[in-house]
Amino acid sequence: MKHDKQHLLDDLLSETGSPDLRKSVLSQAHLLLRRKRRRVAVTQSLAVLVVAACALVTWRAAWLPAPDTDTDTDTAPAPMASAPQAHRLTDDELLDLFPDTPVGLATVDGKQRLIFLRSADEDRFIVRF
């Protein structure tokens, strides 16, 4: 017993079949195959682009230096010669700048930090650039 596909192929390949039907079926098959090839080519191109983008991101993360987020005064410009020389405040002098404000000094990650007990005081005294 022959399947329907086999009957269709026999009709198309036989010399006695309709030439218009044969031409129509073959053109439709050709169109479907062209679409499939185009879809495969686009999928492969997108895969190559994704791999290239991942490689670029990995390369940049591995070879480029991390941005400098340290805000130490090591990179501050040297004071001008005519400017008066400032002296370093002692801990007591620093704490005296905040009268009637609960504030303390704490060492965090090896650096001394001012700690305000009330967040409103921190917003009032600390200016961020």
Spatial separation of the C-alpha atoms in residues 33 and 17, rounded to whole Å? 23
Closest of 68, 76, 71 to residue 111, by C-alpha? 71
Q: Give CA separation, 100 vs 95, 103, 116, 123, 127, in Å.
A: 10, 9, 12, 16, 19
Measured CA to CA, the distance from residue 90 to residue 93 in angstroms comes to 5
Q: Is the pLDDT of residue 51 over 90?
A: yes
Q: What whole-number distance in Å separates Cα of residue 76 and Cα of residue 71? A: 9
Token pair 């504030």 is found at: 103
Q: Summarize the confidence of residues 32-57 as an average pLDDT.
A: 94
How much is the pLDDT for 87?
78
Query: Per DSSP, which regions of 1-129 are E strands?
Result: 103-108, 111-116
Find the radius of gyration of the CA atoms of the chain: 39
What integer pLDDT is reported at residue 20 of this predicted model? Answer: 80
pLDDT band at 126, cuts 50/70/90? confident
State what percent of residues in the chain have pLDDT above 70: 79
| Phi, psi of 112, rounded to the nearest 5 degrees | -80, 135
The DSSP call for residue 97 is T
pLDDT per residue as tens digits for the range 82-97 = 667 777 888 888 888 8
Top pLDDT among 54 and 2 is at 54
